[in-house]
Structure 1
């Protein structure tokens, strides 16, 4: 039995995938309960496919290479989940890496849980923004929000700040939970990690938080999906992801925990705020039409949620009318970017 499956979506990743894989092997030692699924998502510009096969040849007991036609990050995660044999499932992007000592702590707990008849649903740990080109780091922790050192449920969580939402970097799910809800991420779409850390949450009943810096998130690479100019060019995909989040969870009907409902509503509100900022930044007739349409979609699909989200202070300010309102919204975004150091 495998305790955990690590899925590594790889697309033309030859320049950095070795570091990612080596970071997992570092805490594996000789244990046979870890598997690494290297998902080659139709790479054509480098030797990613050959590297994946070579890693699998060298470590046949724990590394498998999965080759598929290009389907995007979501399709690679889907493939990893479909092939996973571990009790737990963790996505690690191929340009990121895991901290050895932190993972040793987490693995001790996961191994214990894997032997239980009802293993815990989700494990959370900290992540670190590695802004390599700026020689800077920023750690996101949850010690003011989540109980440490014991199992808990959603009714025991505090209030998350906008800067400390649960991201793909910080979560490990029980594999069967994801399969039971038939989680499937859209193909050829960026920003699907938002679906991954949103849609399963109402099905999570038990959680454990470790106050250790588990995940190292490389940021600043040219062509990265969170680059501001690239985000502007992919707003159709941001909208697609936001709509799927709206469709898949009715916060008023599907979420029984008040703290979880508040958290998820805040997360969805930020997704719509991102749509608003970047579409107003683009400021073309099509962008303005797209902005009106995404808000109207929420109004038509979830009218009660629309009233609350559109009526909150942040979105009222971001949607102030006219050129002055647009400039105000963009100015607020620039300030937030400096404060929270995203992108």
Structure 2
């Protein structure tokens, strides 16, 4: 492996944003240590042409992987397959990084041997371009290698391990044959869970790297899109339920995996019963999913029964995505 870090950048029709993302990575300081794989996922706009300009101007940093459209998961899978870096992480085509802090991270990675490394992100509002830093909580020990099993169930530590903050040893991804579902949305969660469950060690670094653009109505996490793509989300839920039966995990890791899967099921109840403006359709879909869950995974049905009843109650009270945000103070 000739590079310290591979960044895979899955791209589909991101011509409006790509210059900013690639520009934040086009720094001569990165020539020896960083590889950026621009995965063009069958774009029909000028994404490929923009990418080629960076490949030509910084050939020691950028490589273009040109492929047929297969969704975000296929972009991640292509990145893992082609990565030449010791470590691997993902930056989406409409986001960017803090260039100077990435240089610091690369310097830190030279002396780190943890399976995973977790840093910090900034959420940047698309309209105002103002940002809010999502800092690691004070209870997490930073700049020190920790056993992942010791901290994965500590308070809400797992909520700070996101696709935007996670760096993983490439060898770990390959040795365990980690592959992500293709052709659907919401696979970020799948990637996080699968990559972290096999980790023995972790280092947390209080360093802002990822600049995450939020507020785009086209984002997959917008309420209307959750509903439109509910079957995608349900497919990811079922994949994690399948993965939860993997043998060989220690008790703490199994507990972590069960909780992550449980949280995803709870989100699915919310999508069906609260986000869907067609209340009858949402209730019907939720009932069908709930019956399937009771039949196939009764333990998870029991674990999520209270949240199902809660979501059902809010459904009948007419709570929708906007009212839920207000209730939650968002």
Match of 2:273 among 276, 280, 291: 280
**Count of residues paired in the alignment:** 325
In 2, Cα distance between equivalents of 1:227 and 1:167: 18
2:329 is equivalent to residue 338 of structure 1: yes
2:138 is equivalent to residue 147 of structure 1: no
2:96 maps to what in 1? 97
Q: Where does the alignment leave 5 or more consecutive residues of structure 1 unmatched?
A: 114-118
Q: Is the partner of 1:197 in helix, strand or coil?
A: helix
Give me the CA root mean square deviation: 2.4
Q: Is the partner of 2:193 in helix, strand or coil?
A: coil
Structure 1 length normalisation: TM-score?
Answer: 0.86
Deviations 1:222-242 (A, max 9, x none): 412122222221111111111
Kept after mapping to 2: 8 A contact 1:318/1:328: no
Deviations 1:258-303 (A, max 9, x none): 3x44444333233222221221232455433321233334333332
Q: Is the partner of 2:24 in helix, strand or coil?
A: helix
Q: Is the partner of 2:172 in helix, strand or coil?
A: helix
Match of 2:222 among 221, 227, 230: 227
Question: In structure 2, do the counterparts of structure 1 residues 254 and 289 end up closer, same or farther at CA, with 3 Å as the change threshold?
Answer: farther
Report which stretch shifted further, 189-198 or 103-112: 103-112
Question: In structure 2, do the counterparts of structure 1 residues 274 and 305 end up closer, same or farther at CA, with 3 Å as the change threshold?
Answer: closer
Deviation of the 1:111 alpha carbon: 2.1
In 1, Cα distance between equivalents of 2:309 and 2:121: 31
2:19 maps to what in 1? 18
Deviation of the 1:321 alpha carbon: 8.4
2:36 maps to what in 1? 36
In 1, Cα distance between equivalents of 2:314 and 2:9: 43
Kept after mapping to 2: 8 A contact 1:127/1:140: yes
Q: Where does the alignment leave 5 or more consecutive residues of structure 2 unmatched?
A: none
Q: Is the partner of 1:94 in helix, strand or coil?
A: coil
In 2, Cα distance between equivalents of 1:256 and 1:137: 38
In 2, Cα distance between equivalents of 1:273 and 1:241: 13
Deviation of the 1:182 alpha carbon: 1.4
In 1, Cα distance between equivalents of 2:137 and 2:167: 17
2:127 maps to what in 1? 133
Structure 2 length normalisation: TM-score?
Answer: 0.89
Deviations 1:162-212 (A, max 9, x none): 9x3421001001011111221221222111101010122221001000012
